[in-house]
Amino acid sequence: MKKYLLVAALIISSLQADDPLPSWKSGKVKQALLDFINNTTDKKSPKYIPEAERIATFDQDGTLWVEHPVYTQLQYCLDHAKSKSSQEQDLEKLAMQTSSGMSVAQFQKDVSSWLATAKHPRWQRPYTELTYLPMQELLTYFRASGYKTYIVTGGGQDFVRVYSDKVYGIPPEQVIGTAISTKFTYDTSGKPYLLKEPNLLLNDNYAGKPEGIHMMIGRRPKASFGNSTGDKEMLEYVDGLALIVLHDDAEREYAYGPAQNLPDTEIGTFTQELYNEAKAKGWLIVSMKSDWKKIFSFEE
Amino acid sequence: MKKYLLVAALIISSLQADDPLPSWKSGKVKQALLDFINNTTDKKSPKYIPEAERIATFDQDGTLWVEHPVYTQLQYCLDHAKSKSSQEQDLEKLAMQTSSGMSVAQFQKDVSSWLATAKHPRWQRPYTELTYLPMQELLTYFRASGYKTYIVTGGGQDFVRVYSDKVYGIPPEQVIGTAISTKFTYDTSGKPYLLKEPNLLLNDNYAGKPEGIHMMIGRRPKASFGNSTGDKEMLEYVDGLALIVLHDDAEREYAYGPAQNLPDTEIGTFTQELYNEAKAKGWLIVSMKSDWKKIFSFEE
């Protein structure tokens, strides 16, 4: 009898090991994700996609990591403005002020230093630890299935590129974000460098997301993941799977948006209208509360 | 004796098979290319580069394929303007006129059709056959050595992306070029598409090359290949190997630039000043006449 139990335990543990999405609860959403990968990577399936065309795009704030109470990058800007005694009130101007007028290398250094010490007010952990474990599993699963994974964020491209590889396994060339121009110039010793200038080149939100995807990738994604109206056009543009994350878990994370009948906030707006469009078009809606066993890797 | 000859023949053929650059003549330039790859991929070398950082950027016109008597894309614009009875004389306006005001998909279709029938006036072959065999070997060699190869062209990004994969093995997401904006919009049935608009987003020439590389890749290339003043800033920006192609073979291709004391032309200017800079900085200068055994794959 003991022997049978051992065999059963081995089978179960092997099945678990074979589950590419262990933090996802079994159900419609998880099954749809598994089916999508199975179908698009199976040469015999009518839904098969050649590997070169397997592009998956992920929004960051609210989709891959926490965006409340404020976007991580906004917190960076606020902290930096404070240290520079800025009186700037306009958020867009503030972001521009704290990310231009310096070399790309200096900006990267500033972001790295800040990330090494800044902590999220609720969890008292570095922001880079506040990524969603189920989404990390998805990134890994998609890559293991031959997909190129991209971040397509309204956040600053140069900001996210500082940590994207370390935090998500996504190299800088696969990060598309809001970008300001740079100017190629020379230092006093004649060495060339890039100076960040206060000119908006790409506003990677709303229609800017598919437009940015076209500029940077030149192909339509086969899967796209978002969580707000800023992702709507990207989700409409996808040629395949569209998914939105619904923040409905006030206990483990935050609850906002249509599921709670809460008013839209400035951050991460997921309007009733978007919810209706998602339902009508058959996009996958992920309930953080019901679909995710575990949200953060540090959870017990 | 016959047996020895056979063995010798086998050794020679095996040596040839092991040569990743068979169309390059032995000499300083070829050796420098082999050394660069050996050093940057050898973990024991002080010049070793981790695979993720192996980025190589290639100019297209005059570096990867023929740019005389006019750039291929300019010929496309001229042909299309003619078919539209345009009287446009300004080249920049002409290019804008023939590549905007339509969907991305329509533009790609137009380019494909044109490439299928248009022929180079001298060789009477499709333009896509006029790539330089030694440079194709370099692309293959770099990729086999873990380098990501990019085209960084002054030509139109959407234009080059139509054929880059087929012609160079470079996917659309690794083509950086002069880009106009697109507008995300919907057709009458509500289906989204991207409309090409007559607004210049990136002029991917001169300083625009390193600026474009930063926007699209976010890393400094470890090797860059060019042939004109339009590539100067990209070659200065490289963190490693810089190479320029000198067009000095009037018989097999064209001769222009400083080697012939010819005046600079509008197309593919390689000035004496650039030549001097290349010499002073130790950039590799490739003589098409002396360094390339064979220029085109169709040569006898």
A172, closest residue in chain B (CA to CA): B218
> What is the pairing mode between strands A284-287 and B284-287?
unpaired
Q: Which residues contact A200 (CB under 8 A, 6 or more apart)?
A: A96, A178, A179, A180
The closest alpha carbon to A278, from A220, A205, A226, belongs to A226
Residue B261 has pLDDT above 80, yes or no: no
Which of A194, A219, A235, A238 to mutate against chain B (most B CBs within 10 Å)?
Answer: A194
What single letter denotes the amino acid at residue B158? D
Q: Looking at beta carbons, which residues of chain B come within 8 Å of A215?
A: 157, 179, 182, 201
Averages of pLDDT over each 10 residues, chain A, 300 residues: 62 68 98 98 98 98 94 90 64 84 96 97 98 98 98 97 98 97 97 96 96 98 96 97 95 81 58 90 96 95
Domains parsed from chain A with CATH numbers? 37-68+132-291 (3.40.50.1000)
Structure token pair of residue A45: 């399936």
Q: The complex's ipTM?
A: 0.92
Beta carbons within 8 Å of B96's beta carbon, 6+ residues apart: B180, B198, B200
Partner A contacted by B216 (CB < 8 A): yes
Higher pLDDT, B240 or B269: B240
Give pLDDT, residue A273.
86
Query: Checking DSSP bridges between strand B241-246 and strand B223-226, what pairing results, if any?
Result: parallel
Instruction: Give the range among A88-92, A229-233, B67-71, B199-203 with minimum mean pLDDT.
Output: A88-92
Cα-flanking dihedrals φ and ψ of residue A280, to 5°? Answer: -65, -35
* Contact residues on chain A for B55, CB-CB shorter than 8 A: 173
Q: Which residues of B64-95 are buried (b: 16+ CB within 10 A; e: fewer)?
A: bbbbbebbbbbbbbbebbeeeeeebeeeeebb
- Per CB-CB distance under 8 Å, the chain B contacts of A159 are none
Distance separating alpha carbons of residues A138 and A150, to the nearest angstrom = 12
Tell me, yes or no, if A28 comes closer than 8 A to chain B by beta carbon: no
* Separation CA B47–CA B36 (nearest Å): 9
pLDDT of residue A11: 59
Strand residue runs (E) in chain A: 55-58, 148-156, 175-186, 192-202, 223-226, 241-246, 284-287
